[in-house]
Amino acid sequence: MSELITVKQQGEARCEGLSYQDLLNEESIEVPAYLRENTNPFMGNDDLDVARWVGRDFHEQEKKKLWPKVWQMACREEDIPEVGDHHVYEIVDQSIIVTRTGETEFKAFINSCLHRGRILRDCDGHAEEFVCPFHGATWDINGNFKGIPCKWDFSHLDQKDMSLPQVKIGTWGGFIFINFDENCVPLEDYLSPLPEHFSRFPLHDYYKGAHVERVVNCNWKVGAEAFMESFHTLETHSEILTFTGDANSQYDTFGDHVSRSVTPMGVASPHLPEVTAEETMRDILELSGRMATDSAEGHEMPEGLTARTYVAETNREMFSDIIGEPLDDATQSELEDAILYMLFPNTQVWTGYHGNIVYRFLPNGDDHNSCIFETMILMRYPKGTKRPEPAMKNTLRPDQAFSEAPEIGGLGPVFDQDDSNMAAVQKGMIASKKGAVSLASYQESRIRHLHQTIDKYLNA
């Protein structure tokens, strides 16, 4: 257990009833250490100014001091499977070509021609070399300058370094990260303790089974924060309370860049003490976006079994079949709970053996009042079989509901409910006379953590 447990915690009060750690005590399988971590050091209870979300100045500061300094997830390795494949990653007003240069080698170039500045690649794709569509200046995929038509007119370039400028690049879990800062901390330091906590979930071996994105009319942080606390379940997703331990959730922070929420599933909300085990089971099978099945049909809960155990054991069997190997050492918690990590600033990843959800919230270009909300679902495939091709990104129109994306199944209707708040929060913050938001001490502590880390970058 972390030493942090001995320091003052953020919010001393907790919801009555079973805690997540109590549920872990009921596991019949040895609980891995990362689940026993329970750390939420005190961060204070001050209000946060709405300017952080709605102010143009704050966005300009992020543009100058946050995005140029942080490690940020650009894409999945599987998005660019062959040498020469590339992904154009755009953040605020910057554009990067992330390209595969070898079997396990990647490079990230500033997407701007060294002749007249046009972006070199307009979209994702494959290239034997990067030829600027404007005048034809050309680089090989390693960024070495190969020439420009009418060389006689460019003798003055002979003395210049014409290699394409690069930014830092690194990988973890099948994700590719970039960082504009030459002096940044190594990716592995930045990620800690994510790799250790995900050691039972080899995400580099998962494939992207779904990828959906849509513009949402709110600041990227409003979007991210919609997924950083389970407190909103009561009012926003009331139909899932029969199987969601919303107020029993545990919230942790690990250093500056990682935080976690664990929301027990397969148990009823403490707000609904009358719910029976049968109701919990029926609803989780039908309504959870993350169950192996999506219907209660054909499921008979054996006498004396809790819904939590039944669902976990059902998932154990189904996930084992999908993966093609037994999951004997998986805890019930890992088989059904919502264990969601955030990697600062804008990427969130669920743990799990199959169907791990990933969220990313990017500023929508240079607009601080809108963002691009992306969901990916990382899936497993039978060991020893060919890795399936990753899903193409499905870009929904701004007027489309997430439930119009069948590939995300039960998540769609849940996101639609979140969507009903996101733009409305932005609008309400702009209208606010109070000019500040107040956070729950414990349940919204990860949001405070996000902002305190942002401040560290902006004040550096």
Partner 1 sequence: MAITDTLIPATDITDNQTVAVTLNGKKILICKANGDFYAVDNQCTHQRAELTGGRIRNCYLACPLHGVRFDLRTGKPIGELTRVPLKTYAIGLADNGNLKIEID
Residue 208 engages partner 1 in binding (rule: CB under 8 A): no
The residues, any chain, with a CB within 8 Å of residue 124's CB and separated by 6 or more, are 79, 80, 85, 86, 87, 88
Closest CB 394 distance from partner 1, rounded Å: 11
Residue 127 engages partner 1 in binding (rule: CB under 8 A): yes
The dihedral over CA atoms of 230, 232, 235, 241, expressed in degrees to the nearest 10, equals -10
Residue type, 214: R
Residue 128 engages partner 1 in binding (rule: CB under 8 A): yes
Render the burial of 86-106: b for 16+ CB within 10 Å, e for the rest. Answer: bbbbebbebbbbbbbeeeeeb
The residues, any chain, with a CB within 8 Å of residue 398's CB and separated by 6 or more, are 214, 215, 217
Residue type, 325: E
Residue 389 engages partner 1 in binding (rule: CB under 8 A): yes
Query: Which helix (H) or strand (E) segment is 309 a member of?
Result: helix 307-323
Residue 125 engages partner 1 in binding (rule: CB under 8 A): yes
Q: Which is nearer to partner 1, 42 or 134 (CB)?
A: 134
Q: Which is nearer to partner 1, 133 or 147 (CB)?
A: 133
The residues, any chain, with a CB within 8 Å of residue 14's CB and separated by 6 or more, are 442
Residue 430 engages partner 1 in binding (rule: CB under 8 A): no
Binding mask 166-185 for partner 1 (x = CB under 8 A): --------------------
In this structure, the number of other CB atoms found within 10 A of the CB of residue 437 comes to 18
Residue 121 engages partner 1 in binding (rule: CB under 8 A): yes
Query: Which helix (H) or strand (E) segment is 451 a member of?
Result: helix 445-458
* Among the residue ranges 63-71, 118-126, 364-372, 448-456, the one whose residues contact partner 1 (CB under 8 A): 118-126
Closest CB 389 distance from partner 1, rounded Å: 7
Q: What is the DSSP string of 152-186?
A: GG-GGGTTS--SPPEEEEEEETTEEEEES-TTPPP
Residue 107 engages partner 1 in binding (rule: CB under 8 A): no
Residue 124 engages partner 1 in binding (rule: CB under 8 A): yes
Residue 397 engages partner 1 in binding (rule: CB under 8 A): no
Binding mask 130-159 for partner 1 (x = CB under 8 A): -x-x--------------------------
Return phi, psi of residue 182, to 5°.
-60, -30
Closest CB 84 distance from partner 1, rounded Å: 8
Q: Do 45 and 9 touch, CB atoms closer than 8 A?
A: no
Q: Which of 6, 13, 44, 123 binds partner 1 (CB under 8 A)?
A: 123
Closest CB 431 distance from partner 1, rounded Å: 36
Residue 126 engages partner 1 in binding (rule: CB under 8 A): yes
Q: Which is nearer to partner 1, 148 or 312 (CB)?
A: 148
* Among the residue ranges 25-33, 128-136, 153-161, 291-299, the one whose residues contact partner 1 (CB under 8 A): 128-136
Phi/psi region, residue 145 (left: phi>0; alpha: psi -120 to 50; beta: rest), is beta
Residues within the interface to partner 1 (CB under 8 A): 85, 121-128, 131, 133, 389, 392
